[in-house]
Amino acid sequence: MKLVLATGIYPPDIGGPATYCYHFAEEFSRRGIAVSVVTYGESSEQKQYPVRPVSRRIPQIIRQAYYGFMLMREARGADGIIAFDSLGAGLPAMLAGKIRRIPVVMRLGGDFVWEKYIERGGVPCTMREFYERKRYRSSRTLIALVAFVLRRVTMVVFTTSFQRELFVRYYRLERSRTAVRQNVFVKKIGQAGGASSAGLLWAGRFLKLKNISFLIEVYRYVRVRAKRQAQLVLVGDGPEKESIAQEIRKRGLQKEVRLADTMSPSELAAAIRKAYCGILPSLTEISPNFALECVSEGVPAVITAETGIREMLPELLYADPRSVQEFGDAVVRLIDDGDFYRAYIRRIAGIRYHKSWEEAADEYLALFHSLSNV
């Protein structure tokens, strides 16, 4: 069997598509499946399988055309393609699948159209509001392009039913050509959470959709009402980082809110273990890796209520990402109420959900086998 993995990012880049593409490539290769990866980027580090990078320094139109050429070449003789986004990798993958007459499975863990709308200065809204309040009308061309691709791949795999239901409705997808495969989640053994200091931790990309200005307001609310002082640490990089730094200075919070650079997975895991709790107030998070990592390490977290993991992990503490009071009260309770905090840790310890990378790879292989029998 031969599979081609088409992704927009790949390690050393950080993000869900990079993580999943890497682990799938490793797992498939370990099983003796011929694997090749086509990605955008500069790194050409070769594993036991080929990684074909397309430089981001190339002008965009030429870059995507060259990416498509590379994908077509790698797809010769392949049994299928897995694409890890809707356009950058997904559009060339769809075309390569049509030309090579092989199935294309697209894994979607994000919403490119909504994200673009928010980052370009659209009215701040959740992903659900973007569609239900018809704010997508300003992005009709992009919606049409994404829909064109999604309807022509063999199968679209979502990580949550939350996103699947929205996309089936608003992109008019055939439900029979969609599926839900939840994210990998492996609890670490021996982690208990509950650091001695009341440190709050956020990690991710500094983007508007991450709602970090709101987080600063939540922190100001907590600072006044909590009985114990709690430092806030923000980890990561991104286009909004400087504006957040300016806001911190404007609020006079330089001693209490600390900005840290992007960390390696092991460094971030260590920072999570030292934190009192994680905090993730994004406008929407479909399946947030940071929140899952907190829970994996046994550390409590307050998570946006606009997320697909509520169906997977109902035991967690969720709050409205538009209500400073609701989010702030949840954090204050974790800081001040020791019994509530310890009960949360016990709930985390009792979580039974588990999925390994091996099990996730099995799910995708089963999809290809079912498609080959259609």
Q: Which amino acid is located at 352 in the chain? A: R
Nearest to 83 by CA among 54, 99, 107: 107
Instruction: Indicate if 126 and 257 belong to the same structural domain.
Output: no
Sheet-wide strand order for 277-280: 257-260, 232-235, 200-203, 277-280, 301-304, 317-319
314 preceded by a cis bond (ω within 30 of 0): no
Q: How confident is the model at residue 106 (pLDDT cuts 50, 70, 90)?
A: very high
- Considering the domain boundaries, does residue 296 fall inside one? yes
Mean pLDDT, rounded, for 242-269: 92
Contacts with 243 (C-beta within 8 Å, 6 or more apart), sequence order = none
Is residue 7 predicted with pLDDT exceeding 60? yes
Q: What is the CATH number of the domain that holds 116?
A: 3.40.50.2000
Residue 190: inside a domain, yes or no? Answer: no
Q: Are 204 and 109 in a shared domain?
A: no
CA distance 163 to 111: 9
Average pLDDT, whole number, for the chain? 91
Q: How far is CA 157 from CA 83, 168, 176, 231, in A?
A: 10, 12, 11, 39
Residues 12, 53: one domain? yes
Instruction: Provide the number of structural domains found in the chain.
Output: 2
pLDDT mean over 107-122: 93
What global pTM score does this model have? 0.87
- Asked whether residue 194 is assigned to any structural domain, the reply reads no
Q: How far apart, in whole angstroms, are the C-alpha atoms of residue 321 and residue 222? A: 15
Other Cβ atoms within 10 Å of 274 Cβ, number: 15
In a domain, 146, yes or no: yes
Tens-place pLDDT, residues 133-187: 999 999 999 999 999 999 999 999 999 999 999 999 999 999 999 999 998 888 8
269 — pLDDT class (breaks 50, 70, 90): confident
Q: H-type helices in the chain, by residue range?
A: 16-30, 60-74, 90-100, 112-119, 127-132, 140-150, 161-170, 212-225, 241-250, 265-274, 289-296, 324-336, 338-349, 357-372
pLDDT at 143: 94
Residue 195 lies in a domain: no
| pLDDT score, position 124 | 93
Which domain, by its residues, includes 292?
200-349
